[in-house]
Each structure stands twice: as structure tokens, then as C-alpha cells.
Structure 1
Amino acid sequence: MIDHITIEVSDLDKSKLFYEKAFAPLGNRLSFGKQGVFWAFDVGNGCLFEIQRTGEKQQLTHLHVAFRVKSRAEVDAFYRAALEAGGADNGAPGARPDYAENYYACFVLDPDGYNIEAMINEAAKA
């Protein structure tokens, strides 16, 4: 399942207002964000649609897709398989406590340079 998609926008304030109004009839609302950096909208089923300021210094690209997986082992396996398939490393598997306490993810660049993430946001199972 897709956990979140992030797109880069040229005018964050204008885009925030646009999506707030466009999503309102669908029942989708602003969930969280950081003024001047990014905004995340809850689009249902635990999925987020995010907008990010152009040029924000992160490992993201113009388009970012994160796939929610079932285990940390699946994050690790995705990373290895993506690199073997010709992807480029953009962040090895590991904890990302700056995202959330139990966030574990990896990032790879696909053949077109888009940032693809496999992630899980659950406590590690013993």
C-alpha cells in the first residue's frame, strides 16, 4: 500500500490553500506540517498526500513515493533488490527517529532519479 506521496511545489502557501479547498469536498484535511517547509494531507486509509517547497534540502526528489511494508525485514529486502535492479542508494535501511519513534525506512533512486521509499512505522517485533 502507498503510505504517502510527496510532490515538490513552487509556492507552498498557494499550494496549501489550493489543496485545502480542493480536498474539502472529499473530506480530506490538513493533517500536519511545518510552516515554510511542507504540509501533509490525510487522504484516507492511513495515506498522506504531501507538498514540499521546491529546493528543500532533503533526500527527496521532485516526486517521492513511500510504500508501507509489513516488517523491517521487508524494508531491508526491498533495498537490496532495488539496488540489484539498478537503483541507487539514497538512504540505507535504518531507524528514522526524527520522523517518528518507530519509523524504519530505506530510500532508493529509481532509473529516472525518483526517490522511492519502503517504510514501516511500528515497534520492532521481538
Structure 2
Amino acid sequence: MVRVVGIDHLAIRVSDLAASKSFYSRVLGFMGFAREWEFDRVVGWNNGATMFWITQADAVGRRHKHRTGDVGYHHYAFELAARGEVDALYDFLLTEKVVIVDAPAAYPSYGEGYYAVYFLDPDGLKLEAMHFVEKDKRRARRARPTETP
């Protein structure tokens, strides 16, 4: 058996590399990512734990715009450290005139303290920034030293 320790990177294809590079540089930069790679038709950012890459779609791919509901990518969620950070990102997205799908809100059906904002990239790909109190509590429980008799 193997054990996944995390997601190393996500790579998405975009229709206009220059426009998407500008968008992601601003949004990911606000979230603490630094652009680390740029080669051929690939641009990548890293925050020390996660890498996010964009790649230029080929000519055939650019003719088929993303359509929500198709098989494939649904959305990518960035986990933020606090609920207030979701609100801060939302304010930033508004100043950047990013398309907001759902303003920050609580989603109690997802679990205790789930709070998120949903927005779109230039190709209409859905992104989420969220904070989840229940995950904080799980991490705290795992971090507690076990008692020895």
C-alpha cells in the first residue's frame, strides 16, 4: 500500500496564456504564491506546499471552451488559514473585477464552520477559497500527544 501525503501540483490548460498568467499572478500572489517557473508554454507558482501550473491549450483545445457541466474539471479549492482570509480575498477579487460565482457564505451542510467564496478564472474555470473549522479541529486532535499509562 502507498500513502499520499499531499497534492504536489495542479496543472490546467488555458486558452490565452498571457491573460491567464496575468490573472493568476495577481490572485495567487495575493494568496502568497510566487511565480517559480516559466518555460515553453507553462507557468507555475509555488507557496512552499502546493504548486499551481497553467499551460497553453493547443489549437484544437482552444476551439472548445470550458463548459460547466462537462465531464472533467469542476473546481479547485484553496484552503485558507482563517475565515477572515476568505473575506479579504473576496474584497481583493472585487477590486480586480473577478467574476464572483458565490460571495462568501457559510455552508453548514458541508460540515462545521465551512465558509467559502467561489469565483471564475478568465476561461470560466471555477475556483474556491475556503476555511473549514472542522478540519482545524481534526488537525489539532492529531497533533495532541498521546497519553501513556
Length-normalised TM-score, structure 2 = 0.42
The structure richer in strand per residue is 1
Length-normalised TM-score, structure 1 = 0.49
Structure with the bigger RCO (C-alpha within 8 Å, sep 6+) is 1
